[in-house]
């Protein structure tokens, strides 16, 4: 996959019907082939007109949006955000998701440390996702210090990355991600999403953050 212009969609890591009955085939198809693809196409169209930014990665664009000239910034940054958020959302799901992270993983330990228990984390995350006003995302993030927290953001903002945080688990709560099956019942969609989470991907992303901190005694800091 290209890391710079022209950007491509990250491949859908499962069949469109793999998340049934929790996330239905039609929603996955429209969301992936329609919405997500539009962000990629629109980002490439915006960059086509601004060759000076064609060597930037998504991370470059999103971490330093103010390095992009104001006249062309909005379409580039907004669509890069859409690409980035959708990549994380689709990669964060899998067929036959587990009930939660592997109990021996650093992620499971981190969740216990920062949210008291997995059940409590689930409750807090679901409430945060349900409470996003209008379109946006809920995200479990790791701070640069390895702390876990829940963040919500609107539209195609990318709060985590622009603040140095790493998104570990991203839930899209735009209506297009659930309306065909769940209509106005966002809470039902959120409850179903817990059944298809790719915990291995989430554990891996957290381990990468934790490993970077190891020289600074990550284990000690977690106590
Ligand atoms: Mn979406």
pLDDT of residue 221 exceeding 80, the answer is no
**CATH code of the domain containing 71:** 1.10.287.990
The Cα–Cα gap between 182 and 32 comes to 18
Looking at residue 163, what is its pLDDT?
A: 83
**Which pLDDT belongs to residue 220?**
61
Q: Say how many Å lie between the CA of residue 67 and the centre of ligand 1.
A: 26
> Which domain CATH number covers 116?
3.55.40.20
Q: What is the pLDDT of residue 200?
A: 97
Residue 217 alpha carbon to ligand 1 centre in Å: 38
The DSSP call for residue 30 is I
Q: Which pLDDT belongs to residue 164?
A: 87
In a domain, 13, yes or no: no
**Ligand 1 mean position to 106 CA, how many Å?**
29
The half-sphere exposure of 130 on its side-chain side, counting CA atoms within 13 A, is: 14
pLDDT at 223 over 70: no
- Tell me: the pLDDT tens digits for 150-200? 999 998 888 778 888 999 999 999 999 999 999 999 999 999 999 999 999
Q: What is the pTM of this model?
A: 0.93
6 part of a folded domain: no
Distance in Å, CA 218 to ligand 1 centroid: 34
> Within this chain, do residues 180 and 206 fall inside the same structural domain, yes or no?
yes
Whether 77 and 139 map to the same domain: the answer is no
| 128 located within any domain | yes
Split into its structural domains, the chain has a count of 2
Residue 17 is assigned to a structural domain of this protein: no
193 CA distance to ligand 1 middle (Å)? 14
Do 85 and 125 lie in one domain? The reply is no
Q: Supply the range of the domain harboring residue 119.
A: 106-211
Give the pLDDT band (50/70/90) at residue 1: low
Domain membership of residue 185 (yes or no) is: yes
The pLDDT assigned to 162 comes to 80
The answer on 189 and 119 residing in a single domain is yes
In a domain? residue 11:
no
| Position 217 confidence tier, pLDDT thresholds 50, 70, 90 | low
% of the chain residues with pLDDT over 90: 86
In a domain, 5, yes or no: no
- Average pLDDT for 129-143: 96
Q: What is the pLDDT, as a whole number, of residue 218?
A: 57
| Cα-to-centroid distance, 10 and ligand 1 (Å) | 14
Count of C-beta atoms within a 10 Å radius of residue 23: 24
What is the CA(113)–ligand 1 centre distance, in A? 31
How large is the angle between the packed helices 70-91 and 37-48, nearest 10 degrees?
150
Residues 61 and 157 in one domain: no
* 180 shares a domain with 150: yes
């Amino acid at each position: 996959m290209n890391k710079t212009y022209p950007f491509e969609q990250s491949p859908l890591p499962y069949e469109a019907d793999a998340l049934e009955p929790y996330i239905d085939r039609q929603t996955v198809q429209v969301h992936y082939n329609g919405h997500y693809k539009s962000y990629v196409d629109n980002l490439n169209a915006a960059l086509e007109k601004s060759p000076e930014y064609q060597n930037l990665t998504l991370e470059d664009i999103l971490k330093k949006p103010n390095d992009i000239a104001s006249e062309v910034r909005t379409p580039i940054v907004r669509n890069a955000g859409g690409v980035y958020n959708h990549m994380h959302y689709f990669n964060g799901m899998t067929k036959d998701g587990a009930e939660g992270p592997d109990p021996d993983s650093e992620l499971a330990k981190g969740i216990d440390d920062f949210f008291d228990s997995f059940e409590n984390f689930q409750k807090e995350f679901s409430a945060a996702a349900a409470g996003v006003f209008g379109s946006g995302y809920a995200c479990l993030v790791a701070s640069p210090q390895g702390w876990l927290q829940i963040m919500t953001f609107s539209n195609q903002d990318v709060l985590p990355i622009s603040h140095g945080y790493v998104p570990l688990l991203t839930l899209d709560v735009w209506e297009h991600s659930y309306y065909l099956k769940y209509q106005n019942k966002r809470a039902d969609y959120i409850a179903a999403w817990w059944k298809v989470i790719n915990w291995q991907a989430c554990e891996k992303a957290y381990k990468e953050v934790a490993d970077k901190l190891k020289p600074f005694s990550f284990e000690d800091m977690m106590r």
